[in-house]
């Protein structure tokens, strides 16, 4: 009777030695991640938790990037944003999938989404229609923080 009880206590002590430090580490890590999120707020256009619209892990060629950038640079509003201090950070393709009558699916990059950032205060998304050779839409988000001493 004493042997199973002693073995049970040893197993309980070993499990406790692993669980308690792990729980403490994970809970402190969780607080760190929340603090990081508060310091760098999300400036994206879609609410958190929504899936991305683009296909994941697409490699964009330099030719496609150059074509999208040259079309965007031809627009006066994009030039104004660049003059104000925005920088092009991301060029993503906008993919169109067409299902044919026989069931074949063809993918085609019909446009591009350019992400422009200005420090931590602004974000602009520029939608470029590659087929038409024009800028279709510009969405500008800005953030103003007024720090007041208490």
Contact between residue 19 and residue 11 where contact means Cβ atoms under 8 Å apart:
no
Q: What is the DSSP letter of 101?
A: T
CA distances from 45 to 42, 52, 78, 114, 115 (A): 9, 11, 18, 13, 11
DSSP H or E segment with residue 76: helix 76-83
Which pTM value belongs to this model? 0.57
State how far the Cα of 125 lies from the Cα of 127, in Å rounded to an integer: 6
Distance CA 57, CA 101 (A): 28
pLDDT one digit per residue (tens) for the chain, 150 residues: 677 777 777 877 777 766 666 555 554 444 444 444 444 444 455 555 455 555 456 788 999 999 999 999 999 999 999 999 999 998 999 888 889 999 998 888 899 999 999 887 789 999 999 999 999 999 998 887 788 887
């Amino acid at each position: 009777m004493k042997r199973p009880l002693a073995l049970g206590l040893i197993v309980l002590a070993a499990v406790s030695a692993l669980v308690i430090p792990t729980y403490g580490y994970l809970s402190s890590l969780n607080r760190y991640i929340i603090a990081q999120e508060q310091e760098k707020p999300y400036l994206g256009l879609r609410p958190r938790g929504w899936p991305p619209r683009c296909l994941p892990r697409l490699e964009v060629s330099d030719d496609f990037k150059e074509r999208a950038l040259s079309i965007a640079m031809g627009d006066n509003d994009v030039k104004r944003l660049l003059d104000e201090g925005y920088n092009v950070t991301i060029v993503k393709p906008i993919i169109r999938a067409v299902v044919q009558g026989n069931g074949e699916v063809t993918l085609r990059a019909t446009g591009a989404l350019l992400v422009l950032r200005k420090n931590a205060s602004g974000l602009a998304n520029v939608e470029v229609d590659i087929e038409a050779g024009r800028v279709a839409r510009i969405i500008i988000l800005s953030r103003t923080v007024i720090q007041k001493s208490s």
